[in-house]
């Protein structure tokens, strides 16, 4: 059957960027001179780059593929694309941009969706497309990765050698972009977030200097970049832990339910998630989605139950769902790299196709408030029925296992939401049409309000990699006052002119 689940643990972000907010501490540099045409930039910057680097503008046939993005709304605007062949090219590009007052943005796979990206005008795109090397260390406990590697590439390359590591869950998304914002993924119950497996990062700062950042080298920046890294530098390569794979296959079961089963389904989910204490081998995620194979009158509930182990071990967790008499169910073994295609997150899945408007609105939960979830379903059904152009949209519930995430001291990184147990998201998707944008934004905000009303005694948490872009900073970077204070101190030290100002900025 066709898969309907459009995956989001993409943590959908570029390799680095931030967006401008006024501050008395940070001073933004002036914008580019109007005399700097694309042709002049190419003539001046091109000869400075290493062999096999590329630099081109909109008239080049490579332009479309290099600049097309997953999110069609509020896109950055570029004069030229520079594709460095070596890490050592990136300091040259940054110093050139600074000397001419040109804004810049490093781009890996182009999945960043925040509206703040649209504030970049007449800039330089630094494409990470050639920086994709992977080298396993001699001791077989870690590996070295180019800053342009992506999830599907890393998962397949390591699996073939008998290893796994923390990545996002969508094949087409870069690793380090989501990692800078934390980095949820299927192996986080075992090994934590992407940031929890990092050993060091090679970073180009706003002034073009190249440094190594680790627990012992620039420790203040090490803390800040693991959760708010888009504000601080370009990661040109990184060193991360890898682990011997513990199983050869995962057992994945897909369930489809009708809306009259909603309350029962979410009661089972709450009981199994145990307020974040489910076994590390068990995880689930699901969606409200339209699927004409099952219904043309209302959205279905589709859930994938993952178990890192055998069908027999998974059986006790599957039985409560099976007892609800689902409309459809199917369980099957998959090697880990094949899980992505099987669950609709592979390279050819709808979720990996560029060019749509994809408005995202995330929310972190402790558990499902079933009354709020019913309100969300009914509202989603009504608004997508009234406006069929929104029927590509989904409401997402991601409940990865959390043992590895919660094992890390929350104060040890800038990522602020380790106490969240469920990552929810509204993805309002449609073919680009500016007349629909305001309504799409209103839909996303209304659904997140239902979630907020369902846990009124808790501060709202917004996963920065899914943020729409206008949320309060405390929601994205933590409501403990010391967190933003510490981030802003690092910002003033490492990027005093706010060069990295185009991705959910802290100032």
Q: Which two tokens stand for residue 496?
A: 């005093």
Cα–Cα distance measured from residue 397 to residue 422, given in angstroms and rounded to the nearest whole number: 7
Q: Which two tokens stand for residue 259?
A: 């809306």
SS3 at position 376: helix
Distances (CA, A) of 403 to 377, 406, 464: 30, 5, 21
In the 8-state DSSP scheme, what is residue 192?
Answer: -
Global pTM? 0.94
Domains of the chain: 250-477 (3.40.462.20)
Quickly tell me which residue has 């001791």 as its tokens: 139
Cα–Cα distance measured from residue 397 to residue 287, given in angstroms and rounded to the nearest whole number: 6
The sheet carrying 250-257 orders its strands as 328-334, 250-257, 300-307, 282-289, 394-399, 422-430, 357-365
Sequential DSSP letters for 406-465: HTS-GGGSS---TT--EEEEEEEEESS-GGGHHHHHHHHHHHHHHHHHHSTTS-----TT
Cα–Cα distance measured from residue 477 to residue 365, given in angstroms and rounded to the nearest whole number: 16
Each of the 507 residues of the chain gets a pLDDT tens digit; together they read 444 443 344 334 444 433 333 333 444 554 555 578 999 999 999 999 999 999 999 999 999 999 999 999 999 999 999 999 999 999 999 999 999 999 999 999 999 999 999 999 999 999 999 999 999 999 999 999 999 999 999 999 999 999 999 999 999 999 999 999 999 999 999 999 999 999 999 999 999 999 999 999 999 999 999 999 999 999 999 999 999 999 999 999 999 999 999 999 999 999 999 989 999 999 998 999 999 999 999 999 999 999 999 999 999 999 999 999 999 999 999 999 999 999 888 888 888 889 999 999 999 999 999 999 999 999 999 999 999 999 999 999 999 999 999 999 999 999 999 999 999 999 999 999 999 999 999 999 999 999 999 999 999 999 999 999 999 999 999 999 999 999 999 999 999 999 999 999 999
């Amino acid at each position: 059957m066709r898969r309907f689940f459009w995956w989001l643990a993409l943590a959908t972000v570029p390799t680095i960027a931030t967006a401008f907010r006024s501050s008395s501490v940070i001073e933004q540099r002036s914008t580019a001179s109007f005399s700097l045409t694309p042709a002049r930039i190419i003539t001046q910057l091109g000869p400075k780059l290493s062999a096999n680097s590329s630099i081109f503008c909109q008239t080049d046939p490579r332009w479309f593929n290099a600049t097309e993005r997953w999110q069609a709304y509020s896109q950055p605007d570029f004069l030229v694309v520079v594709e460095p062949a070596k890490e050592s090219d990136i300091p040259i590009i940054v110093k050139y941009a600074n000397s001419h007052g040109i804004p810049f943005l490093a781009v890996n796979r182009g999945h960043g969706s925040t509206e703040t990206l649209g504030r970049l005008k007449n800039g330089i795109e630094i494409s990470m497309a050639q920086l994709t090397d992977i080298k396993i260390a001699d001791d077989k406990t870690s590996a070295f990765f180019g800053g342009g590697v992506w999830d599907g590439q890393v998962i397949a390359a390591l699996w073939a050698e008998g290893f796994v590591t923390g990545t996002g869950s969508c094949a087409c998304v870069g690793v380090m972009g989501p990692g800078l914002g934390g980095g949820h993924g299927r192996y986080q119950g075992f090994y934590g977030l992407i940031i929890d497996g990092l050993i060091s990062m090679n970073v180009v700062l706003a002034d073009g200097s190249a440094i190594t950042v680790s627990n012992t080298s620039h420790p203040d920046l090490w803390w800040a970049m693991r959760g708010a890294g888009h504000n601080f530098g370009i990661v040109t390569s990184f060193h991360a832990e890898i682990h011997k794979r513990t199983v050869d296959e995962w057992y994945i079961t897909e369930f489809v339910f009708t809306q009259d089963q909603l309350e029962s389904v979410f009661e089972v989910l709450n009981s199994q998630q145990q307020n974040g204490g489910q076994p590390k081998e068990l995880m689930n995620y699901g969606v409200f989605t339209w699927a004409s194979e099952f219904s043309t009158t209302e959205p279905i509930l589709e859930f994938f139950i993952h178990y890192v182990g055998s069908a027999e071990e998974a059986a006790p967790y599957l039985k409560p769902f099976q007892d609800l008499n689902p409309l459809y169910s199917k369980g099957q073994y998959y090697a880990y790299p094949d899980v992505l295609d099987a669950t609709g997150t592979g390279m050819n899945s709808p979720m990996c196709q560029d060019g749509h408007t994809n408005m995202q609105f995330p929310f972190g939960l402790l558990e499902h408030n079933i009354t709020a979830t019913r309100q969300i379903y009914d509202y989603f059904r009504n608004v997508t029925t009234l406006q069929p152009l929104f029927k590509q949209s989904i409401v997402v519930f991601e409940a990865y296992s959390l043992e590895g995430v919660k094992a890390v001291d929350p104060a040890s990184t800038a990522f602020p939401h380790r106490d969240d147990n469920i990552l929810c998201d509204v993805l309002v998707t449609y073919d680009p049409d500016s007349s629909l944008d305001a309504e799409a934004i209103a839909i996303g905000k209304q659904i997140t309000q239902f979630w907020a009303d369902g846990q009124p005694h808790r501060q709202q948490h917004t996963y920065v990699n899914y943020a729409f872009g206008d949320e309060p900073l405390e929601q994205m970077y933590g409501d403990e006052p010391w967190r933003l204070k510490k981030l802003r101190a690092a910002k003033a030290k490492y990027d005093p002119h706010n060069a990295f100002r185009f991705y959910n900025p802290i100032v």
